[in-house]
Amino acid sequence: MLTWTIHLEGGPKRVNHAAVAIGARIFSFGGYCNGEDYETTRPMDVHVLNTVTLRWTLLSPPAEEEASTTPYQRYGHTAVEYGGMAYIWGGRNDSKGACKLLFRFDGATLSWDKPHVTGPIPEARDGHSACIINDRMYIFAGYEEFTDRFSNDVSYLDLKTFEWVPLRILGKPARWRDFHTTTAIGTTMYVFGGRCDVGGDQFTNNEIYCNRIMSFDTLTNTWTRLTSTNAPSGRRSHSAFEYKGQIYIFGGYNGVREIHYNDLHCLDPGQWLKLAAPGNYPSPRRRQCACVVGSKVYLFGGTGPGDKTQSTGQPDADLIDRSDLFVLDFEPSLKTLASLVILKHNLDRECLPHDLRWELAAMSTDNTISRLHTTNG
pLDDT of residue 312 exceeding 90, the answer is no
pLDDT of residue 377 exceeding 80, the answer is no
Round to whole Å and give the CA distance between 42 and 32.
12
Is residue 285 within 8 A of residue 322, CB to CB? The reply is yes
Closest CA to 73 of 108, 107, 103: 103
**Pairing mode of beta strands 25-29, 18-22:** antiparallel
Sequence-separated contacts (24+) of 64-68 with Cβ below 8 Å: 66/111, 66/112, 67/43, 68/114
Query: Average of pLDDT values for 102-111?
Result: 98
Is residue 166 within 8 A of residue 156, CB to CB? The reply is no
Q: Confidence band (pLDDT; 50, 70, 90) for 64?
A: confident
What does residue 330 show for φ and ψ, rounded to 5 degrees? -75, -25
Least confident stretch, 100-109, 219-228, 299-308: 299-308
pLDDT reported for residue 35? 82
pLDDT reported for residue 345? 55
pLDDT reported for residue 270? 84
Q: Confidence band (pLDDT; 50, 70, 90) for 358?
A: low
Q: Confidence band (pLDDT; 50, 70, 90) for 368?
A: very low
For the residues of 255-304, what is the DSSP string, one character each? TTTTEEEEEEEEEETTEEEEE---B-PPPS-BS-EEEEETTEEEEE--EE
Round to whole Å and give the CA distance between 277 and 73.
35
- DSSP alpha helix (H) spans, the chain: 334-344, 354-363
Round to whole Å and give the CA distance between 347 and 211.
43
Q: Confidence band (pLDDT; 50, 70, 90) for 342?
A: low
Domains and CATH numbers, the chain: 3-372 (2.120.10.80)
Q: Confidence band (pLDDT; 50, 70, 90) for 202?
A: very high
pLDDT reported for residue 316? 55
CA distances, 146 to each of 100, 125, 197, 362 (Å) = 11, 8, 18, 46
Closest CA to 261 of 284, 232, 286, 237: 284
Quickly count: other Cβ atoms within 10 Å of residue 198's Cβ.
Answer: 10
pLDDT in tens, 210-233: 999 999 999 999 999 999 999 999
Quickly count: other Cβ atoms within 10 Å of residue 294's Cβ.
Answer: 11
Q: Confidence band (pLDDT; 50, 70, 90) for 360?
A: low
Q: Confidence band (pLDDT; 50, 70, 90) for 344?
A: low
pLDDT in tens, 257-286: 999 999 999 998 789 999 999 998 999 999
Specify the length of the chain in residues.
377
pLDDT reported for residue 65? 78
Round to whole Å and give the CA distance between 302 and 41.
22
Give the DSSP H/E element, type plus range, for residue 247. strand 246-254
